[in-house]
């Protein structure tokens, strides 16, 4: 029995990386991780689309751009 390690899309209790050790890719925890990763990818795509629209808009101010950068930075560290 050779369990694979899967990096989970959420941090552990102290912020460290969390791994799932399983050979069952269809376990409840694996399915939850799949669902969460799908949501994260969709959110990332929406954020990038929003960023592109903001950058095309000549009326975007510095506060809005700083907010966008903060969201992109936060999303990138997950």
Report the distance separating Cα 69 and Cα 51, nearest Å: 9
Q: Is pTM, for the whole model, over 0.75? A: no
For the chain, the domain total comes to: 1
**What integer pLDDT is reported at residue 68 of this predicted model?**
86
Report the distance separating Cα 67 and Cα 69, nearest Å: 5
Cross-strand partners of 6: 20
Token couple for 9: 């899309």
**How far, rounded to the nearest angstrom, does the alpha carbon of residue 64 sit from its chain's CA centroid?**
21
Domain that holds residue 53: 4-76
Of 2-6, 64-68, 74-78, least confident by mean pLDDT is 74-78
Q: Is 3 a residue whose pLDDT tops 90?
A: no
Report the distance separating Cα 49 and Cα 62, nearest Å: 19
């Amino acid at each position: 029995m050779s369990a694979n390690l899967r990096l989970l899309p959420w941090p552990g209790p102290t912020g460290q990386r969390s791994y799932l050790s399983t050979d069952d890719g269809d376990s409840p925890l694996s399915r939850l991780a799949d669902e969460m990763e799908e949501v994260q990818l969709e959110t990332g795509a929406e954020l990038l689309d929003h960023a592109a629209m903001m950058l095309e808009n000549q009326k975007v101010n510095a506060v809005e751009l700083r907010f966008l950068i903060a969201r992109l930075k936060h999303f990138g560290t997950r």
